[in-house]
């Protein structure tokens, strides 16, 4: 690498991430984006302007030191870049793949004002993959923290980063997960062709190596209540239970066989691995699949349906510009031959006498005035109804907060199912904090992580204040 600084070259074209050929993606969970090759890394890292005032760092909800890690990469120090990211995030391999960089750091990147922004996400991912291949980041001997006990409910990104922060502060951290696998949406929702499970599991193993304890098959509110956790000596609780409650379309025929929510469809395939012959969990994917919706779940469901041999259409009531999924996924879906039918919505589903889906009635829409989300609202066009033959329908129209814990804990104040928190991240129960999708409704990995980090700070402050006061009960804690 030498001492001479390599020359920056912002005008070099943004490097394209190599992908698995579209023709080879059928019926495989293999990762589509294969990641930068070595030569591209240098070029891309040297595109970075190394701005004095790095707006990308401000734009990242975790304020990852993007400038510093890219600088190390530009100097050929990939291991050092990985270390830099790992100071702030337990999930470089995950975020490098699934974070919506185009909405945060890459959107802010100054280079993007005139040229294409630096491919920050792909660089982040490269560091993680490099470290993994080099056998780094496996976490050394198992640490044994000795501080106060803290319970984190749910094992999605919000809880995982809270675990990372708290265990490094010396707390004894236990994560309780309802399902038999860890990771939240990263495990049951996002397909392995976007996030290979080795990557996810290795980053989780690192947390285990740092001393975080994991309890699977543990449903807080059912297996034990929050009060019981306190009675067992936990001094604070963080709720990161996500937004796992699927919305239904509310149209006739919704309970026919072959109509799935995206959550059921993806859980069967990702979590239960229905795509593998050896797995006993079935999934019914017919000849023609219609996926309803325009977010990440819709793309993921459509791309699985296609991989499992179905002619697949995404039906979305707005236009392409209003799709909410990551742009890369939309492009990959298009490459894979998934059809998009924009400006149309389902009205009714038909079935045969045994209850299997046979057809879908739809209606065309036009875009009207902006709605509460700021996007143009779709308005049905009278008389534009049409029908299509289908045998699988997947409703990917959004999710609400997972209600199990709230139901078992009436003291928790909620607003339409979402747990309400104050400025410090604390809920209506003292010592109980919350963040991520269960507070925001469906959101993104990085915002969930931002919340988890903020809650970890708040928990630390609250416990320290409590210790300083020498009081442990019945007091207001840090604002």
Task: State in angstroms the smallest separation of the CB of 417 from another protein.
Answer: 11
d(CA 56, CA 62): 11
For 353, the 3-state DSSP assignment is coil
Please give the residues from 191 up to 220 whose contact with another protein meets the rule CB under 8 A. 216-219
Q: Which tokens hold the place of 319?
A: 């236009």
Which listed range, 14-22, 25-33, 119-127, 238-246, lies at the site for another protein (CB under 8 A)?
238-246
Size of the site for another protein (CB under 8 A): 38
CB of 51 to another protein, least distance (A): 43
Pick 83 or 264: Cβ nearer another protein: 264
Spatial separation of the C-alpha atoms in residues 98 and 84, rounded to whole Å: 20
* Cβ atoms of residues 12 and 294 within 8 Å: no
Q: Binding partner of residue 176 among ligand FAD, another protein, none, CB under 5 to 8 Å per kind? A: ligand FAD
Among 49, 219, 245, 348, binds ligand FAD (CB under 6 A): 219
Q: What is the DSSP string of 29-58?
A: ---SB----HHHHHHHHHH----SS-HHHH
Considering only 194, 268, 324, 450, the residue that binds another protein (CB under 8 A) is 268
Interface pick for ligand FAD out of 437, 454, 462, 463 (rule CB under 6 A): 437
Integer angstrom CA distances of residue 424 from 166, 244, 292: 16, 24, 37
Establish if 232 lies at the interface with another protein (CB under 8 A).
no
Closer to ligand FAD at the Cβ: 402 or 414?
A: 402
DSSP 217: S
Residue owning tokens 């936990």:
234
For position 178 contacting ligand FAD by CB under 6 A, the verdict is yes
CA-to-CA distance for 138 and 144, rounded, in angstroms? 16
DSSP alpha helix (H) spans, 151-196: 157-168, 185-188
By CB under 6 A, the count of residues binding ligand FAD is 41
The SS3 assignment for 179 reads: coil
* Contact residue for another protein among 280, 369, 416, 476 (CB under 8 A): 280
Do the bridges between strand 392-395 and strand 259-261 make them parallel or antiparallel, or are there none, so unpaired? Answer: parallel
98 touches which of another protein, ligand FAD, none (CB within 5 to 8 A by kind)?
A: ligand FAD
Q: Are 57 and 64 in contact (CB under 8 A)?
A: yes
User: Strand pairing of 418-419 and 414-415?
Assistant: antiparallel
- The residues of the shown chain that bind another protein, judged by CB under 8 A, are 178-180, 188, 216-219, 222-224, 244-246, 248, 254-255, 257-258, 260-261, 263-264, 267-268, 272, 278-282, 284, 354-355, 402-404, 407
- The residues of the shown chain that bind ligand FAD, judged by CB under 6 A, are 98-100, 153-159, 176-179, 184-185, 189-190, 219-221, 240-242, 244, 266, 296-297, 300, 326, 402, 404-405, 436-438, 443-446, 448
């Amino acid at each position: 690498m030498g001492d001479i600084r390599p020359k920056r070259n912002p005008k070099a074209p943004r490097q394209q991430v190599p992908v698995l050929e579209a023709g080879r993606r059928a019926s495989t969970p293999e990762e589509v984006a294969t990641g930068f090759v070595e030569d591209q890394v240098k070029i891309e890292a040297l595109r970075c302007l190394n701005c004095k005032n790095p707006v990308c760092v401000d734009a990242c909800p975790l304020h990852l030191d993007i400038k510093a890690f890219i600088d190390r990469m530009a100097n050929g120090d990939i291991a050092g870049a990985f270390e830099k990211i790992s100071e702030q995030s337990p999930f470089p391999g995950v975020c490098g793949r699934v974070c919506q960089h185009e909405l945060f750091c890459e959107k802010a990147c100054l280079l993007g004002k005139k040229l294409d922004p630096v491919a920050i996400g792909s660089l982040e991912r490269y560091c993680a993959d490099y470290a993994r291949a080099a056998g780094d980041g496996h976490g050394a001997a198992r640490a044994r923290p000795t501080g106060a006990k803290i319970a984190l409910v749910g094992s999605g990104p919000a809880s995982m980063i809270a675990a990372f922060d708290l265990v490094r502060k010396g707390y004894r951290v236990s994560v309780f997960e309802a399902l038999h696998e860890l990771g939240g949406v990263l495990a049951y929702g996002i397909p392995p062709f976007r996030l290979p499970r080795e990557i996810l599991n290795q980053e989780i193993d690192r947390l285990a190596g740092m001393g975080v304890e994991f309890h699977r098959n543990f449903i807080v509110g059912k297996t034990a209540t929050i009060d019981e956790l306190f009675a067992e000596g936990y001094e604070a609780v963080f709720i990161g239970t996500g937004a796992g409650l699927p919305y239904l379309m509310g149209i006739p025929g919704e309970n026919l066989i072959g109509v799935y929510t995206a959550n059921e469809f993806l859980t069967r395939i990702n979590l239960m691995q229905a795509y593998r012959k050896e797995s006993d969990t079935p999934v019914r994917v017919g000849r023609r699949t219609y996926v309803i919706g325009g977010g990440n779940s819709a793309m993921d469901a459509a791309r699985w349906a296609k991989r499992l041999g179905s002619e697949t259409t995404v039906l979305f009531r707005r236009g392409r510009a209003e799709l909410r999924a990551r742009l890369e996924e939309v492009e990959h879906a298009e490459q894979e031959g998934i059809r998009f039918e924009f400006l149309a919505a389902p009205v009714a589903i038909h079935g045969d006498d045994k209850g299997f889906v046979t057809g879908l009635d739809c209606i065309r829409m036009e875009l009207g005035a902006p709605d509460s989300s700021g996007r143009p609202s779709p308005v049905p066009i009278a008389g534009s109804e049409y029908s299509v033959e289908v045998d699988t329908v997947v409703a990917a129209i959004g999710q609400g907060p997972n209600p199990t814990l709230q139901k078992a804990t009436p003291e928790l104040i909620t607003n339409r199912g979402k747990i309400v928190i104050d400025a410090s991240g604390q809920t209506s129960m003292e010592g109980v904090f919350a963040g991520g999708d269960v507070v925001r409704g469906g959101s993104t990995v990085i915002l969930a992580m931002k919340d988890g980090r903020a809650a970890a700070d708040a928990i630390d402050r609250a416990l320290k204040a409590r210790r300083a006061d020498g009081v442990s009960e019945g007091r207001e804690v840090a604002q």
